[in-house]
Structure 1
Amino acid sequence: IVKHFSINYDPINENNTFTNGSTLEGRVVLEITKDLKIDQLYVKCKGQADVHWTESDSKNDTDDSYSAHERYFKLKQIFIQNASKKAGSHVFPFRFQLPEGNLPSSFKGQHGSIIYILEARLCRAWRITRTATVEFTFVIYADDLFIIYPKLPHTQKPLSGAIEKKMKLFTSGSASVKAATDKTGYMQGEIITVESEIENSSSRDLKLKYKLEQKQTFTAGSHHKHEDKVIFKEVADPILSRSKRTVASKLKIPPDVSLTIANCDIIKVEHVLKVLIPQCSVLSCSGLSNCCSTPSTGVRMSQFPRILAGCS
């Protein structure tokens, strides 16, 4: 009887994203081969966050599961209520205005997700409910984020840090690094400019390394699950022994990296930029899991960089 049942929406920009207050329009398509009595046909628009993970308790030989859920909004539009439709193809347009306020950006991780979804349902007596769904991407733009959280570090404020380290193992002397970024907030695909002042007073040449890490935290009650992900690694030219040098590096953020999430109670996404100097260069690492890497000392930045959505 039901030949086709689907839902789709109209993009409003080239990135196919929506934000606070956006208007979301689309249609539900129902194609039936003969007259059909329908209890209810409706569409919902909703935003929610969910986390779930399982941990093994070897002491008690059990598996403990942890879950949490947040609902941000649920909007509904009813097309049919206790009525019949004749055979043929029927199109039901819908229109929702997304709420203003504190909504986190879309995100999917190993132990949780923040999703925004359209769900159409066709309900009939004594029949299994037919469901059609489609997700859409929600982003909170930088300007909106700082209205909601005025105490966040300003996006144009530089990050900085410094460290001085006495070398160990087979290297004598010391090394110091002062590093600063051009600002705090970046968009996907943007360049992070890092200026580093290095004084290599050690007996060996040193390689300056950069690493951008993504730190994910999932929360269920008093329990937390952490996941770290390396976004990129870069290596600068060697700093010669007994020399000083200023290095300006341009590090590109991947265009598909997840945004910073600071306004969700059960999922947090942060980005940490590390500027590293090896304590010795005797060993080298090819990136294989069984490779031994040299210990490194890192510059601690005063704040975390934030990857934000913006209109560029």
Structure 2
Amino acid sequence: MGKLSLFEVSYSKERPVYYPGEPVEGQVTVELNDTMKMRGMHLRFKGMARVHWTEERSSGSRTIRTDHFSAEEEYFYISFLLAGRWKDEPGHDINLPAGRHTYPFSYKLPSRLPSSFAGAYGFVGYDAKCTIDKPWKFNHEAETSFIVRNRLDLNREPRAKKPNRRSKSKTLCCLCCTSGPISATFSIDRQGYVIGEEIIINAEIENLSNKRVKKSKVVLMQEVLYHATTKTKPKTHDYAKLKHGEIKQGDTDYWNAERLVVPPLTPSFLRGCKIIDVRYFLMLDVTPAGPSSDLVLYLNVIIGNIPRQGVVAQPSAVDQPAAHQPSGKGASKGSKKRSRPRRGSAYITEESQPLAEELSLKNTEL
């Protein structure tokens, strides 16, 4: 790297996870092998959301047209000067001497922010980027992301403590013959959970048809709605699953208080973000033998990160959704340009030495 042997942005926390309104603290470290001339050095913080996908459609006999759907939100974009001057301000360049230089920082996040999220067609991302602005040469940049976790308190969600129950029957048809029904009742004792808690599942599946039931399963699913300017795109993912075997003709299968542990997940709703909506539900899927379609029931659940009072969550070894967090550099591609980011004051020390009521289930992928 020539004169620059080390240039990084690091956080004071081992895992850079922050709540809205909390200060993001850390330091910028620069290590030089020789004196470096620069206009200045500045540190930028950014929070934004973006959705984007493409769809192909025929526009004629042989022409395929690709339509783009997208939307963006910006939550903050602010820079602080660490050394020297801004590019558009008068003054002299500075010479940073060889050696190790550290610049501690503390930036207080806005009080209302959505949780970090990364999905198939969009993300909510937060990052910090430091730039060494060099006259007549390429700039040096060091960038790293951090995680924001918005609080979803299940004590403030009226549905979280309420049970949920549904029943459904399905009559199977085979050519001209009609058999008896397959019936199912599916229930949970409450709808609100946090990571590590167990969902207690009860179900009764009665097979009065003339076919055997091959299997049944319960799946914890996430539905994400990506809202572009002119269209909404749903996407579903399954995260946890329980299975039962076959049910013979005339038999009944019971799910008696079976337990499904909630894995690391982004909280429901993604509050604070208007272009991405996250919801969860349990699906009971009963599969009869032969060409008949499945009997399917859905129950809404709410995933929070503050448990209900009186409910002790099991500790989770991993409390952050296992999803790739895109860096701001890639995330900001296509966003509007600025002549200069907003500047603000923050604690930055001088140079020193030595981080669904109703479910929309169209195009559900299982």
Shorter-chain TM range is: 0.7 to 0.9
User: Residues of 2 paired with 1:11 and 1:183: CA distance?
Assistant: 35
Q: Does 1:176 align with 2:183?
A: yes
2:203 match: 196
Q: Does 1:154 align with 2:162?
A: no
User: Shift of the alpha carbon at 1:246?
Assistant: 3.9
User: Residues of 1 paired with 2:40 and 2:66: CA distance?
Assistant: 41
User: Shift of the alpha carbon at 1:171?
Assistant: 7.3
With a CA cutoff of 8 Å and minimum separation of 6, indicate the structure with the bigger relative contact order: 2
Report the secondary structure of 1:300's partner residue: strand
Amino acid paired to 2:98:
A
Amino acid paired to 2:79:
K
Kept in 2: contact 1:28–1:120 (CA 8 A): yes
User: Shift of the alpha carbon at 1:48?
Assistant: 0.7
Cα deviation digits, residues 92-125 of structure 1 (max 9, x gap): 1111222212x22111122211111111111121
CA pair 276-265 structure 1, distance change in 2 beyond 3 A: same
2:303 match: 307
Q: Percent identity?
A: 27
1:42 match: 42
CA pair 198-63 structure 1, distance change in 2 beyond 3 A: closer
2:317 match: none
Q: Does 1:268 align with 2:277?
A: yes
1:53 match: 53
User: Shift of the alpha carbon at 1:223?
Assistant: 1.8
Q: TM-score normalized by structure 2? A: 0.71
TM alignment of 1:55-204, pairs within 5 A: 55-60=55-60, 61-82=64-85, 83-101=94-112, 103-143=113-153, 153-169=158-174, 172-204=179-211
Aligned length: 290
Amino acid paired to 1:235:
K
User: Residues of 1 paired with 2:139 and 2:172: CA distance?
Assistant: 68
Cα deviation digits, residues 77-96 of structure 1 (max 9, x gap): 32113343222110111112
Gaps spanning 5+ residues in structure 1: where? 284-293
User: Residues of 2 paired with 1:77 and 1:242: CA distance?
Assistant: 72
User: Residues of 1 paired with 2:80 and 2:160: CA distance?
Assistant: 39
1:287 match: none
User: Residues of 2 paired with 1:300 and 1:22: CA distance?
Assistant: 37
CA pair 76-160 structure 1, distance change in 2 beyond 3 A: farther
User: Residues of 2 paired with 1:199 and 1:226: CA distance?
Assistant: 32
Higher fraction of strand: 1
Amino acid paired to 2:80:
Q
Report the secondary structure of 2:6's partner residue: strand
Q: Does 1:230 align with 2:242?
A: no
Kept in 1: contact 2:169–2:295 (CA 8 A): no
TM alignment of 1:13-52, pairs within 5 A: 16-52=16-52
Cα deviation digits, residues 106-145 of structure 1 (max 9, x gap): 11122211111111111121122211111112111222x8
CA pair 123-16 structure 1, distance change in 2 beyond 3 A: closer
What is the root-mean-square deviation in Å for CA atoms of aligned residues?
A: 2.6
Cα deviation digits, residues 135-176 of structure 1 (max 9, x gap): 112111222x87xxx6x5532222221112223337721232
Amino acid paired to 1:123:
D
Amino acid paired to 1:273:
L
